[in-house]
Amino acid sequence: MSRCVRLVEAPLPPLDGMRLSDLRGWHLFTYTQLYPAVLGSMLYDVLHIGPRWGCLQAIELSIAVFFAVDSLHLMRDLGSAEFSQADWIDTAADALVALVMGIAYWQVSDRRVTTGMWLVAASVCVFWAYHLRARRRHPIVIRWYSSVAALAVGVGTFATLFPTVTAPLAIAAWLPTVCYGWYVFRRAPAVAPTRQTDA
User: What pLDDT was estimated at residue 180?
Assistant: 92
Under the phi-then-psi rule, with left for phi > 0, alpha for psi from -120 to 50, and beta for the rest, what region is 17? Answer: left
User: What pLDDT was estimated at residue 59?
Assistant: 96
Residues lower than pLDDT 50 in the chain: 1-2, 5, 7-10, 12, 193-199
User: What pLDDT was estimated at residue 176?
Assistant: 96
CA nearest to 116, candidates 168, 58, 29:
58
User: What pLDDT was estimated at residue 15?
Assistant: 55
User: What pLDDT was estimated at residue 30?
Assistant: 85
DSSP secondary structure string for all residues of 100-128? HHHHHHHHHHTT-HHHHHHHHHHHHHHHH
d(CA 144, CA 148): 6
User: What pLDDT was estimated at residue 115?
Assistant: 96
Report domain extents, the chain: 24-46+53-198
Q: Give the chain's end-to-end CA distance (angstroms, integer).
A: 56
DSSP 133: S
d(CA 154, CA 176): 9
User: What pLDDT was estimated at residue 167?
Assistant: 94
User: What pLDDT was estimated at residue 193?
Assistant: 45
Average pLDDT, the chain: 82
d(CA 143, CA 123): 15
Give the predicted TM-score (pTM) of the model. 0.80
